[in-house]
Structure 1
Amino acid sequence: MKIVQEECKLQTGAGTLCLPDRRMLLKSAGALIGMSALPGGITKAFAQSGEGGSGSANPGALRKGMVGFMLAHEQFPVPQLVDLGAAAEQAGFDLLATSDHLQPWQSNEGHSGEAWVTMAALGQKTQRAWMGPTVTCPTFRYNPAVVAEAFASLSLLYPGRIFLGVGSGEALNEQAAVGSWPKWDERSERLIEATELIRQLWKGQQVSHKGKYYNVDAKLYDPPAKTIPLLMAANGPKAMRRAGQYGDGLITDPKTWKEHKSEFEAGAKAAGKDPAQMPVLVEQFVVVGDSKEAQASAELWRFIPKAFKTYYNVRDPQEIQKRAEAEVPLDKVYGDWPVSTDANVHVKAVNELFQSGATIVNVHSGQADQKKVVDFYGKQVIPKLKRG
């Protein structure tokens, strides 16, 4: 699941050594696929106040009632994800979310492509769908200044179609890359400072930032073409409050949304924002099939029930897989997923999330046949949804 736990770490040392490579990858991808921007196709903005530096004044045009599709780098190679994203847009999905991992959660998932490169390529094969990571960690293996530059460039390529989801990362990505993994309080402070720094740089003005964790003296000479919504991930009450206060919107899972929605709302109100006007992306796992297919999917995503209680602190995907297989029964993994070839079961699950206040439902299937899921939702589910 791409809902990332708490925060990460980086000054200017080891973490920055790998960052120019990430930036060069993105720019190289842009050069290879061409630099022509495609028009954004979504309007009806969520307006937010964002008083006191706790959110941007206009987070862009993520409309209510959107249906997203999860492109899981852990499970599929980049070329397949690019083709799948194009098919999902054609089928009627409004948003294409990508995971952003250095390593997969479990070793048996088998893949871990670069998210920003995927987005750059995917934009050339799509016309209207929003694109963004759920989520990028802007504090360890990525310096926040590099994140700001990369997403500004993506926004220039695809104006009005880019959002940035941020979170704290996991040890399997951050500690594995730079060797550091501090306690939650520090990781949370770093995420807050990083997101505010990213917003400052996006203004296109000289930024002289001497913070608790980051020292940046720079200017983005190519700032975003349009406001980039910055959504913050959360998987517990403290993180939900933080997302409301410091994010333009939220990325979470159905259980966390149901149990801790009030914390998100309280955080937003504390920052002078109206939570009802903020984008809320909820990721819903689904299976278009029977229990046998659900079990096969759950084998690859077995870590989920303990992902943000325990496993986010584990650096090795092989160790996570070993522990999940020993500790998590398969039926506990898929017990709350809609598992059926009856479209009404899926329509009901998605509509219930919309009714609960989610503005974007991000559909995630762990099935091997992703095209089957895309076609099923495009023909039998999306047309029946109540998205007003």
Structure 2
Amino acid sequence: MVEIGYKLFTESHSAPELVKNARLAEDAGFSFLSISDHYLPWIPNHGRAGFAWCTIGAVSQATSRARVSTGVTCPLIRYHPAIIAQAAATAANLMPGRFELGLGTGENLNEHVTGGIFPTSEPLRLGMLREAVKIIRTLWKGGTQDYYGAYYTVDNAQIFELPEVLPPIRISAQGPMAAEVAGEIGDALIHFEQKPEEVVETFRASGGEGKSCMIETVVCYAGSEEEAKRTAYEWFPMAANKGELNWVVPTPAHFEQLQQMVTPEDVAKNVLCGPDPQKIIEKVGKLVDMGYDSVLLHQVGPEQERFINLAHDVILPEFGIKPPRPESGGRMVIGPAR
């Protein structure tokens, strides 16, 4: 049975809002939560970009069932891999068996802030990611560790608070080159819906057979299709950017300039907009048919609670998640598949 997750978008919502929405999403029946890890918002209008790892700690205590993952963290420049190894180990201790570390090669938007150079070469970024994952797994073995590689150095490092069960590492891939690496070094895949069929097939052929495959799909549920298009354009214009622009553009001001070059209709080609939940249900079904066992729904805009209620009432029951029992005191209770 497919698992359906809810996106915690740090760029558009404050940390307290994210914690509240995480609790509501768990109550509604979402199986997992995925939180973005940004230093800057995509566009100034977003106005948020809290520290994801602090929010993860709060979410761990506000929820009790849903799994939580970073979606995704870049351990290349802004963070040293040794720091991410420690952070993920602590998060896994806060929610045993519920934390998952999502890793990717990141965007210049976030990585340039500490003065490092973000490589425009994808093979180079993937080489750095390979080494970063190797360091994380080495430190998770316990004991004092040293590492002297092409990109990183670890000197007499030890993580003293390791979880009993290490978190899986889910690798992000937007194209076939990254999908090959993800299949080789990752425990699972996450894709952001650019080349869904090609990526999942490449991942499986490269060592990912039998591993979990997650995909994030962006939707904008609203009272009308026109309202949804306007909201998607206001809150998620990056969806219309072509090629590698989202990876190499450095500041929110530049993304705002790109926004002026696209229209709400352009954005709606990549964001499912409108008031009909059946279209979301059909979209999830298509992604499952492609081979994805986990689908992450990213509702853009301010109407988060409204969307969570819609998911509970209409979308999730279509995939075997039972609505809450009245005697549950307002907490959602998950029942068997229909």
Q: TM-score, normalised by structure 2?
A: 0.89
Q: Partner of 1:112 in structure 2?
A: 49
Q: Partner of 2:330 in structure 1?
A: none
User: Which residue of 53, 75, 82 maps to 2:19?
Assistant: 82
User: Which residue of 210, 214, 232 maps to 1:281?
Assistant: 214
Residue 379 of structure 1 pairs with residue 313 of structure 2:
yes
> What's the CA shift for 1:348?
1.2
Q: How does 1:279-318 map to 2 (within 5 A)?
A: 279-289=212-222, 290-291=224-225, 292-306=227-241, 309-318=244-253
- Contact preservation (8 Å) 2:43, 2:255: yes
Q: For residue 78 of structure 1, what is the amino acid of its counterpart? A: A
Q: Partner of 2:82 in structure 1?
A: 145
Q: Distance in 2 between matches of 1:300 and 1:341?
A: 17
Q: State the SS of the aligned residue for 1:131.
A: strand
- Contact preservation (8 Å) 1:279, 1:359: yes
Q: State the SS of the aligned residue for 1:255.
A: coil
Q: For residue 279 of structure 1, what is the amino acid of its counterpart? A: S
- Contact preservation (8 Å) 1:89, 1:126: yes
Distance 1:75 1:359, change over 3 A: same
- Contact preservation (8 Å) 2:174, 2:193: no
Task: Describe the superposition over 1:136-160 as per-residue Cα deviations: whole angstroms up to 9, x where unpaired.
Answer: 0111111111100111011111100
Q: Partner of 1:206 in structure 2?
A: 144
Q: Partner of 1:221 in structure 2?
A: 160
Q: Partner of 2:115 in structure 1?
A: 178
Residue 339 of structure 1 pairs with residue 276 of structure 2:
no
Segments of structure 2 that go 5 or more residues without pairing to the other structure are 322-336
Q: Partner of 2:69 in structure 1?
A: 132
Moved >4 Å (runs of 4+):
none
Instruction: Tell me whether 130-139 or 345-354 shows the greater mean CA deviation.
Output: 345-354
User: Which residue of 150, 156, 159 maps to 2:93?
Assistant: 156
User: Which residue of 243, 246, 264 maps to 1:330?
Assistant: 264
Between 1 and 2, higher relative CO (CA 8 Å, sep ≥ 6) is seen in: 1
Identity %: 31
> What's the CA shift for 1:242?
1.3
Task: Describe the superposition over 1:61-84 as per-residue Cα deviations: whole angstroms up to 9, x where unpaired.
Answer: xxx521110010111111111001
Q: Partner of 2:288 in structure 1?
A: 354
> What's the CA shift for 1:307?
6.4
User: Which residue of 197, 202, 206 maps to 1:263?
Assistant: 202
Q: TM-score, normalised by structure 1?
A: 0.78
> What's the CA shift for 1:107?
1.4
Q: State the SS of the aligned residue for 1:150.
A: helix
Q: Distance in 1 between matches of 2:27 and 2:108?
A: 36
Distance 1:332 1:258, change over 3 A: farther
> What's the CA shift for 1:101?
0.3
Q: Partner of 2:59 in structure 1?
A: 122
Q: For residue 80 of structure 2, what is the amino acid of its counterpart? A: N
